[in-house]
Amino acid sequence: MTRKLLTVNICIYVLMNCLTISVLPAQDQSQTSDTTDMRNSFREEILMESFDDDTEDPDILEDLETLRRNPLDLNKVTFDELAQIPFLNSVTARNIINHRNEINRFQSKRELLNVNGMTAELYEKIKIYLIVRKSASDITIDETGVVYKTSGLKIFDKINTRIRSRFMQDLQTKMGYLTEKYEGSKPKLYTGLKSKYGKTGSIFEINLTMEKDPGEKYFNDFMSGYIAAENIFGLRKIIAGDYSLNFGQGLTLSGSGYFSKGIDAVSPVKRKGKGIKGYTSVSESQFFRGAALSYGLGDFIADLFYSDNYFDASIDNHSGNVSSFYNDGYHRTSSEIGRKNSVKEKLYGGRVSYSKGFFRSGITYWTGKFSKPVLKDSVKELYNFSGDRSGSIGADYDVLFKNMNFFGEWTYSNSGVIASINSVSITFLKKAELVFSYRNYSYNFISIHSSGFGERSGETRNERGFYAGMTLIPFKGLTLNAYFDQYKFPYRTFQNPLPVSGRDFLLNADWKVKKEFTLNLKIKNEIKGDIQSVQDTNQRSVKISDQRNQFNARAGFVYQISKEVRFRSRYEYVRVKYEESGLSAKGMLFFSDMRINPLPGIIFDIRVIFFDTQNYDSRIYEYENDIKGVMSNTALYGKGRRWYAVMKYKPFPLFEISAKYSETYTDGVKYVGSGNDRIDGDVINRLNVGMEILF
């Protein structure tokens, strides 16, 4: 089947290539203007693919959408604002500021190509986040193909409001509904309101989010909101309600919203601390609830925060202590409802930071107390937090020196140990960028609000590792990304009763053969210690220490047939092998998709996927386009096929509706899923519908 699919795919490409050579009009090669086409959003997939789970609404997705919708004006943007742009390193951000000071004003975004360190490849990745407000030549094409001049774009003019609503439902009925263990209805519902108002330099913002998961009873099972103001009463920012905190490199205090190791080998290493920010995601465990403020005095900034928030947890009947926490946010069954808001955490702290030129440093402190102690389990207490008090104090730094950026953080937790990460990135003109990072998280470093860079995203403990990453452009059109990560878990974990180590290597090549056609090749190999259950000579199940070796190879292309049609295809192979037990599995995934923009204001995405893997261990993740505000990174395993179609329609400039229908067929199975989520049959299909109003 694989050979036939590849042969058909190659034939399609050759036919399309021959046709378009003769019919496509000549492209405008103007060096003084630029067209930013947001229909080619697949570049952001490079970042989103690093989430190797089914997280539906990560905070980082909202950040990218906000930045796209409110691009930064090159003639007003600050260094700190540039540092928030994905793919853009601090050295090149500084060079942009210096170049602007030299020329006084950008006339077009395309002038960025004159900045030291700015390559054509990097420019194509970041230009959707930037504008020149009064440019007479720059043109923007939004995701649905609507064309407008950048000079006419009003990013924020006194009031800016977004209302977003979506409906999502699996059309097959899960066992939890048939047995009536799920107490609510099948749809997943979301409604969000976000509004900004600006006057005389001050900005006021309000947000309200309501969400209901499938099986939950109430449409507002989760409610979140905040009110915030900037540049008022001498304060940089003040916020009341739900907010997130991200400082330094994430060791002392951080939530979600960071990319992990992936195709971009350099950018994810550095955490771009966003400080105090209003919370808009629907993840029900990664935010603070209370109040926070930020005050600036010269080169110093002081942040203060207080939180009084509830968490879902199981309570031990005998001791009354917390036996375990639950972060999934589900309240469908009686037991899940019983866990809701079972324990409260009171937390307060602050941060003082100093910024001068291109030198930044800060000290962060926080302390917290749970309303009920966390149970001291004879096994789990070796690896997790126990007791009722927690806290950390840490110092971070970020220094630019010529073409080098030094950054890192040291944190002391209330468990009495220190964790640290120290890194340096080096930029070599327009040819290469390197990053080297060493992390040392002690096994008994316990900081429950840490999220440092590492092999296990979000688990900042019991890990030592050295990471080296590189982005290289050997010649125009070819971009190579590679990294090598050597790490060790020096103390036993809950999953592995013995210390284990691992290493991870990735090489990714993107070759822009011509303007309309790009080839991609990705190779990844990871070897990691693991524990396997095998049968001994007496047919008893025993656990042994093993080495898990996973190899992935991917090849694909993107072909922009015309301005209105894009064709893409990919093939991926995976092999998993255990050295001691001899167990092994392999699999493949192939897809082709097409994006069609028949008329301004309407766009279609259609994809067909074939997959064939021997088990869940050899699953392959496949990032998909979806309705606004939803991330879909689906894990496919077994043998079958999947297809989906997405439609986005913008009948008016300030109104958009979108819909996605998907079906997955798994051959040779009588049911899909397990427990309450079991669906009888071999088909899973889902309908997502979304609406967005802007004014």
If you write DSSP's letter for every residue of 157-212 in order, what string do you get?
SSEEEEEEEEEEEESSPPHHHHTT-S-S-S-EEEEEEEEEEEETTEEEEEEEEEEE
Structural domains for the chain: 32-155 (1.10.150.320)
Indicate whether 321 pLDDT > 60: yes
Instruction: Calculate mean pLDDT across residues 329-334.
Output: 93
> How would residue 365 be classed by pLDDT, with cut points 50, 70 and 90?
very high
Burial status of residue 84 (CB atoms within 10 A of its CB: 0-12, 13-18, 19 or more): middle
Neighbours of 457 (CB within 10 A): 18
Q: Would you say 78 and 96 are in contact if contact means Cβ atoms under 8 Å apart?
A: no
Please enumerate in sequence order all residues whose Cβ is within 8 A of that of 284, keeping only pairs 6 or more positions apart, or say none.
222, 312, 327, 328, 329
CA angle, corner 98, sides to 92 and 100, nearest 5?
Answer: 105
Neighbours of 188 (CB within 10 A): 21
pLDDT one-digit tens code per residue, 429-454: 788 999 999 999 998 888 889 988 99
Q: Quick one: pLDDT at residue 289?
A: 96
- 251-260, 593-602, 629-638: which range is least confident on average? 251-260
Q: Quick one: pLDDT at residue 621?
A: 92
CA angle, corner 315, sides to 310 and 320, nearest 5?
Answer: 110
pLDDT one-digit tens code per residue, 88-109: 899 999 999 999 999 988 988 8
pLDDT one-digit tens code per residue, 204-235: 999 999 999 999 999 999 999 999 999 998 89
**Can you spell out the DSSP letters for 233-293?**
TTEEEEEEEEEEEE-TTSSSSB-S----SSSSSSGGGS----EEEE-----TTS-EEEEEE
Owner of token pair 């309908």: 687
pLDDT one-digit tens code per residue, 456-491: 766 788 899 999 999 999 988 899 999 999 999 988
C-alpha dihedral, 451 to 456 to 457 to 459, nearest 10°:
-30
Indicate whether 85 pLDDT > 80: yes
Query: Which tokens in the block code for residue 66?
Result: 């906000």
pLDDT one-digit tens code per residue, 613-656: 999 999 999 989 899 888 888 899 999 999 999 999 999 888 99
Q: Quick one: pLDDT at residue 50?
A: 65
Q: Quick one: pLDDT at residue 367?
A: 95
Q: Residue 550 pairs with which residues in a beta bridge?
A: 526, 576
**Can you spell out the DSSP letters for 485-514?**
EEEEE-S--SS-SS-EEEEEEEEEEEEEEE
CA gap 53, 58 in Å, rounded = 11
CA gap 566, 117 in Å, rounded = 30
Looking at the chain, the whole-number percentage of residues with pLDDT higher than 90 is 56
Q: Which one-letter DSSP state was computed for residue 152?
A: G
Q: Would you say 58 and 256 are in contact if contact means Cβ atoms under 8 Å apart?
A: yes
CA angle, corner 468, sides to 467 and 471, nearest 5?
Answer: 135
pLDDT one-digit tens code per residue, 585-597: 999 999 999 999 9
Q: Where is pLDDT greater, at 39 or 113?
A: 113
Give the best-scoring range by mean pLDDT among 28-37, 98-107, 419-428. 419-428
Indicate whether 25 pLDDT > 50: no
CA gap 321, 116 in Å, rounded = 58
Owner of token pair 């923007």: 140
